[in-house]
Chain A
Amino acid sequence: MQFLPELTLLGAGLVIFLVSLGKTNADKIKTVAICLGAAVFVATLVSFRAQGHLFYDSYKIDLYSQVFKCLIAGAMFVVLILGRKLKDIKNSVHPEYYLFLFISVLGLMMLVSSVELLAIFVALELSSFAVYIMVPMRDDSGNYRFQMEAGIKYLLFGVTATGFMLFGMSYMFGLTGSTQLPVVMEKLSYMYDQPAAIIAIMMVLAGFFYKLALFPFHFWVPDVYEGASNETTAFIASVPKLAAVALLIRIVSMVNGEGQIIVNILMVCAVLSMFYGNLSALVQTDVKRMLGFSGIAHAGFVLLGILTFQLSGYANALYYIIGYVVMNLACFLVICSISNNGENVQICDLNGLHKRSPLLAITLAVALFALAGIPPFVGFMGKFMLLTGALKQGYLFLVILAAINTAIAIFYYLSVVRVTFCSDPDNNNPVISGIFTNTTSIVLLLIIVIMGVAPQGFINFATSAVQSIM
């Protein structure tokens, strides 16, 4: 029961593996994968209330981890649906693609439950390596090989970040003589006057900054987003970020609030992340690249909640990342539907989308306005709460900088909305979106609006989830 979601995922991976041994039929694989994804989601729901410790206390199952598992499974399910055609992946490797997808998600689910340094490391690598392989799996029809470049970049930067993390873990072990996260952080809290402690914590956090694409660990983002196939990017842009935020909150919540240096470092990262992401996004023409840069900026906003070192701040960060993942998935849903053969979508490809597919146009517009933080959508509520939380802690200057970023960001989101709504289509090919896509986009739209208009329930929920680890 406690380990049910992970076991289901493992089983799903095995089933896919077995299917891949036989004759591959893309349709069959697709159906099997979606069913398995649904099964995983159900499994996370079933074990939602589970509690306990496993594997000699290195694995903790609490409300917090279960909430994240549920979110991860839900996001994965949406990714499976929006990418069910795997347009730009060779038919022959579809089973392998799904296999790695499930393994990666397995790693992420294990990650959110891990409370021991080595377990964290193993889980993180499990998920990362699977994605390293998924990125270059894109079909090389144009012979550009940019998926290879993306794969190598993702791998090299990932390995570097992992190196940082391992190095930090060795410091932690050296300073405290333990690898149990609670013990480590408790002992470290007496050592905040020593640079070694600060360096250790920051280096361990760096591993998650990488997954979250936070400045200065963001370098992989634009190329990987552009090089990986649309479905893979949708996955990279959403699911791992959930897990990264989960671990960031888990670790930071154990840091004693007196670590002012840590706060300062986080603040600098947050502000640079926002400015770097938003300013770079202004000039992009590839929608995925633009979303990548916007993701960097949003990572900065998430950090705004974490660096308050308050229960409410963590809850806001959790609320925000959920909102972000939903908005992002809505964007990728449109991207995956628009792109006929899985090629990248340029902003001008969206010309006159309102005529070709009104529902997708509305989905995209709402998602982008929400990302920009325009009320009444979830993006506004999330930003508003983060800013309120930060100002409560007295970080007025930080709040002003973050607010300025909102104004910068609106331009590039608006330029996409502009072409979808205010221009006529270059070609009148209607976009074919099946019942699956339409239902998913309506569900995502509803979540974006409801979370924005009636956030109280979600906030209470996030608070109680975070409370379970405090």
Chain B
Amino acid sequence: MDQLLINPNYPHILSTLVFLPLAGALLLLFVKNEFFARYWALGITALTAILSIPLVSAFDTTSSKFQFVEQYKWVDSLNIQYVIGVDGISILLVMLTTFIMPLCVLASWSYIKTRVQTFMICLMIMETAMLGVFMALDFVLFYILWEAMLIPMYLLIGIWGGPRKIYASIKFFLYTLAGSIMLLVGIIWLYKTNNYSFFIPDMMWKNYSLTAQIYLFFAFFLAFAIKVPMFPFHTWLPAAHVEAPTAGSVILASVLLKMGTYGFLRFALPITPEATTLLMPYVLWLSIAGIIYGGFTALAQQDMKKLIAYSSVGHMGFVTLGIFVMNIEGMEGSILQMINHGITTGALFLCVGMIYERTHSRELRSATGVGKYMPIYVTFLAFFSLSSFGFPGTNSFVGEFMILAGTFKHNISLALAAIPGAVLAAAYMLRMLQKIVWGGTDNPDQSWLNDLNLREIITLCPFLFFVFWIGLGPQPFIDLIHISVVNLLDQFHAHQGQAVAAAELILH
């Protein structure tokens, strides 16, 4: 239990964050008023965001332990506990989740016209599950929330989605569920091996046999790689992103995808360090494949949502690349890039959603040349697009730069292979930006379009704020994650067994 740190000033802060949205959702069950439902959901999610601020201000950046821990018995006969806490790896993701949810509610304000209460209930249940996943320190608790999240997300896509919502929602559900089935077997195996305990910190840094580690790694990899999604497990993503309503796309892109990479950091690396080292080259090259593939596919898209969805494949490829190069620059860059991607891609999906609300089309062709009539809109869009391909001064630049620096340190050919991805990102984002802002001589008549209203501006402003904050002064964010990453890497390198050393010799 020495990995846990209880913060006496805030004894129940994490539980409050987790259960507040759930309570809000349950209360909303009894309300039949759509108008009230919107304000209620906004109030609850905003309150959650405000309540999460002390997490950062009281976070001890000198400790890699889990902080704000709460621990209760849950199912005694199986030794399942309710234990939650955050460390440097998860704190930013928790903050990202709490801050993005009120904006999602705002983005759905007029977008969702039918069954508003149900929609808001789903959003709030999603928030509970997502926060729980990032905080859970008990593997069963983690798995329950990980799976339970599928239900509201499925409904979000399946009910309020686009024309192919049925296909997209079922594919999303099946893919994710099928992927995490072996994770469940792995969890039970770990439970049996670890003296019948599901406590995650107890499972880390044990010297399991290499064979067991490899099997476990595959179980983890399947679950997390699908969630990330890594090439070639990405096919559910464009379908789900495209068909989901704006808020659903934002949640998917900003938070759900991060669960995969979070899973790698939290479970794959500490529980199977030797297998990770052994299989690292394959994962790295898969990441490169994802970067290049995502870039080229995005370049060819006519559908704006699809374009951003494929760009996500590329960006998440950078994140996994940074994780698996196993050095401090790469890993810190990855965690930062997870947040950056959440901010930038979330904002881009919001932008596309705003156009869609006006023209009811996601086609790039029908959105050409709106710059003349929607100057505020394209200003926002320009900043987010620049951020998306890592323009210096924006948030993604910092993240991608650190990841590439780490990759150069690890293996130069790998880094050289990743560079075209960065160029491609500029190509497809600028292509989209050019068409939307200026278009060509054959622009459709866009003069009837209204520029953003106050609500939409308020929705986008926080994103822009963080784009520049992280872009110009990332140090406070890196301070939050630094110690945990250092500790993770130290432990990781300390737990490399003989077998791996031998294999390394053969490989090099």
Pick the most buried of B78, B143, B191: most chain A CB atoms within 10 A of its CB.
B78
> Any chain A CB within 8 A of the CB of B58?
no
Q: Are B185 and A387 in contact (CB under 8 A)?
A: yes
- Bound-complex Cα distance A31 to B78 (A): 44
| A380 adjacent to B144 (CB under 8 Å) | yes
Interface size on A, residues (CB 8 A): 34
Q: Decide if A414 touches B75 in the complex (CB within 8 Å).
A: no
Contact A400 to B182, CB < 8 A, known contacts A369-B151, A456-B75, A460-B77: yes
CB under 8 Å from chain B, chain A span 332-381: 354, 369, 374-376, 380
Whether B23 is near chain A, meaning CB under 8 Å from some CB there, is: no
Determine, out of B173-181, B312-320, B392-400, B417-425, the stretch whose residues face the partner at the interface.
B173-181
Determine if A36 is an interface residue (Cβ-Cβ < 8 Å). Answer: no
Residues from chain B with a CB closer than 8 A to the CB of A385 are 78
The answer on a CB contact under 8 Å between A414 and B182 is no
Bound together, the chains give a CA A455 to CA B151 distance in angstroms of: 21
CB of A240 to closest CB in B, whole Å: 28
For B465, list chain A residues within 8 Å (CB).
none
A308 interface hit (Cβ, 8 Å): no
Tally of contacts, chain A with chain B, CB under 8 A: 83
Within 8 A of A (CB), among B146-171: 147-148, 150-151, 154-155, 158-159, 165-166, 169-170
Whether A388 contacts B174 in the complex (CB less than 8 A), given A375-B144, A421-B159, comes out as: no
How many Å lie between the Cα of A229 and that of B200 in the bound state? 50
Let me know if B181 and A374 touch, CB within 8 A: no
Known: A411-B174, A418-B158. A400 touches B74 (CB 8 A): no
Interface of A is mostly: helix
A312: Cβ under 8 A from any B Cβ:
yes
Q: Look across to chain A and name the residue whose beta carbon is closest to the beta carbon of B148.
A: A375
Does B148 contact A399, Cβ atoms closer than 8 Å? no
Chain B contacts for A456, CB-based, 8 A: 74-77
Given A407-B177, A422-B166: A376 and B148 within 8 A (CB)?
yes
Whether the pair A421, B155 counts as a contact (CB closer than 8 A) is: yes
- Kindly identify which residue among B115, B143, B165, B181 contacts A375, using a CB–CB cutoff of 8 Å: B143
Within 8 A of A (CB), among B376-430: none
Query: Judging by beta carbons under 8 Å apart, are A312 and B165 in contact?
Result: no
Interface residues of A in 398-455 (CB under 8 A from B): 399-400, 403-404, 406-407, 410-411, 414-415, 417-418, 421-423, 455
Q: Are A422 and B158 in contact (CB under 8 A)?
A: yes
Instruction: Judge whether A387 and B148 touch: CB under 8 Å.
Output: no
Which of chain B's residues has its CB closest to A315's CB?
B77
Convert A384-404 into 0s and 1s, putting 1 for each residue whose CB lies closer than 8 angstroms to a CB of B.
110110011000100110011
CB distance from B316 to the nearest CB of A (A): 24
Q: Is A463 an interface residue (CB 8 A)?
A: yes
Return B199 CB to nearest CB of chain A, in Å: 15
Q: Report Cα–Cα, A93/B166, bound state, in Å.
A: 44
Q: Is B282 interfacial (CB 8 A cutoff)?
A: no
Give the distance to chain B from A412, nearest Cβ to Cβ, in Å. 11
Q: How far is the CA of A422 from the CA of B177 in the complex (A)?
A: 20
Shortest distance from the beta carbon of B81 to any chain A beta carbon, whole Å = 12
Does B189 sit at the interface, judged by CB under 8 A? yes
CB distance from A366 to the nearest CB of B (A): 9
A388 and B147 in contact, given A403-B185, A414-B173, A421-B158 (Cβ under 8 angstroms): no
Bound complex: CA A380 to CA B144 (Å): 8
Closest CB in chain A relative to B218 CB, distance in Å: 12
The answer to whether the Cβ of B184 comes within 8 Å of any Cβ in the partner chain is yes
CB within 8 A of B181: which of A403, A414, A422, A460?
A403
Give A404 to B183 CA distance when docked, in angstroms. 11
Residue B488, interface by CB 8 Å: no
Please name all residues of chain B whose beta carbon is closer than 8 Å to the beta carbon of A354 when the two chains form the complex.
115
Contact across chains for B192 and A410 when beta carbons are under 8 A apart: no
Query: A399 CA to B192 CA in the complex, in Å?
Result: 13
Interface contacts beyond A387-B188, A403-B185: sample of 16 additional A-B pairs, CB < 8 Å, sorted by A: A374-B150, A375-B143, A375-B144, A375-B145, A376-B144, A376-B148, A380-B147, A388-B191, A392-B192, A403-B184, A404-B181, A406-B177, A407-B178, A411-B170, A421-B158, A422-B169
* 7 closest residue pairs by CB, A with B: A375-B144, A422-B158, A407-B178, A403-B181, A391-B188, A407-B181, A375-B148
B interface residues, Cβ below 8 angstroms from A: 74-78, 115, 140, 143-145, 147-148, 150-151, 154-155, 158-159, 165-166, 169-170, 173-174, 177-178, 181-182, 184-185, 188-189, 191-192
| CB<8 Å pairs between A and B, sample of 27 | A354-B115, A374-B147, A374-B148, A374-B150, A374-B177, A375-B145, A375-B148, A376-B148, A385-B78, A391-B188, A391-B192, A403-B182, A403-B185, A406-B181, A407-B177, A407-B178, A410-B173, A410-B174, A414-B154, A414-B173, A418-B170, A421-B155, A421-B159, A422-B158, A423-B166, A456-B74, A459-B77
